[in-house]
Amino acid sequence: MSDEKSPFLKYLREDRLPHIFCSGCGIGTIMNGFIQGMEDAEMDFDNIAMVSGIGCSSRIPGYMKCDSLHTTHGRAISFATGLKTSNSDLDVVVFTGDGDAAAIGGNHLIHAARRNINLTVICINNNIYGMTGGQISPTSPHKSYGSTAPYGVDEYPFKLAELVTAAGASYAARWTTLKVDDMVRSIRDALKNPGFSFVEIVSQCPTYYGRKNKLKTPVDMASYFKNNTIFTSELPSYTEKELEGKIVVGEFVNKQKGEFVDNIKNLSKSHYGKDPLIYSAYSEDFD
């Protein structure tokens, strides 16, 4: 039955493997989780377009056998908005990191959530700028160390899933790479959801985050995640002091609202009686 290879390899460009990610990096796990979630959602792999910005996580579309767009730093969601509006039949998936989505592209993220455009954003949060050498990012936890914070970070981190929930997304969830089954289920729901869906996955970065914070091996980081996760259903039994340094995982919002492209179509139909002009530069000549 099985041809003695991993079942995820048939979606990857095998001539480029083994990939560039460090040993124990969580991005490979997220690639597996995305492929499994896509199979569970029964989506067409040829109809998926992947958009990514700059960063370690944005190298994922380069390893997948599908259409992809590798764009400028932080503007992945803007490019994806244009792609989705011009061709609304595509299933657009955005892979971003925390520096890409929260630091330089923060405004694009919250405004895409406010518009509720039908994108699936998978944000790989490794708490640090991994590609450029371990500088602290907006999601670095309080009192963690980095190469630009040798005495510890004094600021408090962004909580991305809560931020996107407050901005008005229709699906937001946070998981860690250890909770693979929940992650797969969440990605499946996010792909099926008609509206802005945001899945934040807290990932391990043993090379930079782990080395500066006394968690040198991938297994150390994995056990740290395992011991410090709290489900959203358990939240009322914790005080604010106990929650410091913990990772709250779970589904934050799952509700339906009016979608951006549908709203444009309805507007065009109510005023002009036809769909907006897509692929139709000379359509009036043939009428």
Partner 1 sequence: MIKIDEDLCKGCHLCVFICYKNVYMISSTTNKKGVALPYPKYEKECTSCGDCELICPDQAIDVGVEKHWWLKENSNWKFNPNFSKIKQGD
Query: Which one of residues 21, 208, 252, 260 is an interface residue with partner 1 (CB under 8 A)?
Result: 21
Strands (DSSP E) contained in 73-184 are 91-97, 120-125, 128-129, 135-136, 171-176
Cα 224 to its chain centre, rounded Å, is 22
Nearer to partner 1, 31 or 112 (CB): 31
Nearer to partner 1, 121 or 184 (CB): 184
Q: Does 1 bind partner 1 (CB under 8 A)?
A: yes
Structure tokens at 138: 């907006």
Residue among 68, 58, 41, 46 at smallest CA distance from 190 = 41
Residue with tokens 């979606």: 11
Q: Considering Cα of 137, then 242, then 182, then 4, what sign does the dihedral take?
A: positive
Minimum CB separation of residue 198 from partner 1 in Å reads: 21
Per CB under 8 A, which of residues 190..209 are in contact with partner 1?
206
Q: Does 170 bind partner 1 (CB under 8 A)?
A: no
Query: Which one of residues 17, 235, 267, 277 is an interface residue with partner 1 (CB under 8 A)?
Result: 17
Among the listed ranges 32-40, 109-117, 159-167, 236-244, the one in contact with partner 1 (CB under 8 A) is 32-40
Structure tokens at 30: 């997220």
Structure tokens at 223: 């056990």
Q: Does 180 bind partner 1 (CB under 8 A)?
A: yes
Residue with tokens 């945001």: 198
Q: Does 27 bind partner 1 (CB under 8 A)?
A: yes
CA–CA distance, 27 with 123 (Å, rounded to integer): 11
Nearer to partner 1, 86 or 223 (CB): 223
Q: Does 12 bind partner 1 (CB under 8 A)?
A: yes
Minimum CB separation of residue 23 from partner 1 in Å reads: 4
Q: Does 15 bind partner 1 (CB under 8 A)?
A: no
Minimum CB separation of residue 211 from partner 1 in Å reads: 14
Nearer to partner 1, 136 or 249 (CB): 249
Q: If you count them, how many residues does the chain have?
A: 287
Q: Does 99 bind partner 1 (CB under 8 A)?
A: no
Q: Does 223 bind partner 1 (CB under 8 A)?
A: yes
Amino acid found at 211: R
Phi, psi (5° rounding) for residue 146?
-150, 180
Nearer to partner 1, 17 or 267 (CB): 17
**Strand-pair partners of 251:** 173
Residue among 285, 280, 255, 267 at smallest CA distance from 189 = 255
Binding site for partner 1 (CB under 8 A): 1-2, 4-9, 12, 17-19, 21-29, 31-33, 36, 177-178, 180-181, 184, 206, 217-219, 222-223
